[in-house]
Homo-oligomer: A and B are copies of this chain.
């Protein structure tokens, strides 16, 4: 198994190596370029990136901290499996975070937040137009991450980011099975969300966040039997 990477072993700034490996590996995992369950070899990575095992190891420790890889003591390291049994729990948390972050954005956003949010929405819209599934998933996550940032709650934001990251893998599976064709409906829903946030309409933002989340969940969750998500009424 060869890794034809034409890997440019260029001069790197001290300390930048870890971030490089971390970011790249994270993307590869979330985009399913590294399939769940596949083994990760430190020496191979070291060779690929032209550095020693030490920075590789640090990147792996951080990825393990996020649950993206799993480490068997003294034995193999591998890409975490997608926890299908945990999907109901995942969607429950995801929808709640959709709600909460959108609601808080309506409350606490500042003028320049909207600029960033609109940028993300433009990127998402472009990805939809280009029918690029990977880009759609990533830019959709960025969009909601920007919303969360505008909500000014770092705890929700980081939790939400983690959920969105984990979700990228599941969504990839989903859109793969639907031939990379994605409803442009999400673009419209995003626009509605932006409008509600801008108008500081908290109730409407909450409702839209919840609806948007549930809409996505429903499309995916048809496969699932169990359906006892948390449903706090408004």
A199 at the interface (CB under 8 A from B): no
Task: Please give 8 more A-B residue pairs, beta carbons under 8 A apart, in addition to A65-B65, A103-B230, A206-B232.
Answer: A15-B74, A58-B58, A83-B154, A89-B156, A92-B153, A93-B156, A96-B100, A232-B232
A155 at the interface (CB under 8 A from B): yes
A201 at the interface (CB under 8 A from B): no
This protein's copies in its complex = 2
Per the bound structure, the CA–CA distance linking A232 and B104 in Å amounts to 12
Q: Most chain-B Cβ atoms within 10 A of its Cβ — which of A15, A206, A232? A: A232
Chain A residues 132 to 155 lying within 8 A of chain B, measured CB to CB, are 152-155
Smallest CB-CB separation from A19: which chain B residue?
B73
**CB-contact partner of A154 in B66, B86, B154, under 8 A:** B86
A155 with B93, Cβ < 8 A, contacts A61-B62, A65-B66 known: yes
Per the bound structure, the CA–CA distance linking A79 and B174 in Å amounts to 42
A100 with B230, Cβ < 8 A, contacts A58-B61, A62-B65, A74-B15 known: yes
Question: Could you show 24 A-B contacts with beta carbons less than 8 Å apart?
Answer: A15-B74, A54-B54, A58-B58, A58-B61, A61-B61, A61-B65, A62-B65, A65-B65, A65-B66, A86-B155, A89-B152, A89-B153, A89-B155, A89-B156, A92-B153, A92-B156, A96-B100, A103-B230, A104-B230, A155-B163, A159-B159, A206-B232, A232-B234, A233-B234
Per the bound structure, the CA–CA distance linking A54 and B159 in Å amounts to 29
| A230: chain B residues within 8 A (beta carbon) | 100, 103-104
A185 at the interface (CB under 8 A from B): no
A14 at the interface (CB under 8 A from B): yes
Per the bound structure, the CA–CA distance linking A163 and B154 in Å amounts to 12
A228 at the interface (CB under 8 A from B): yes
Smallest CB-CB separation from A202: which chain B residue?
B230
A80 at the interface (CB under 8 A from B): no
Per the bound structure, the CA–CA distance linking A103 and B230 in Å amounts to 9
Per the bound structure, the CA–CA distance linking A156 and B100 in Å amounts to 14
| A65: chain B residues within 8 A (beta carbon) | 61-62, 65-66
| A61: chain B residues within 8 A (beta carbon) | 58, 61-62, 65
| A186: chain B residues within 8 A (beta carbon) | none
| A103: chain B residues within 8 A (beta carbon) | 230
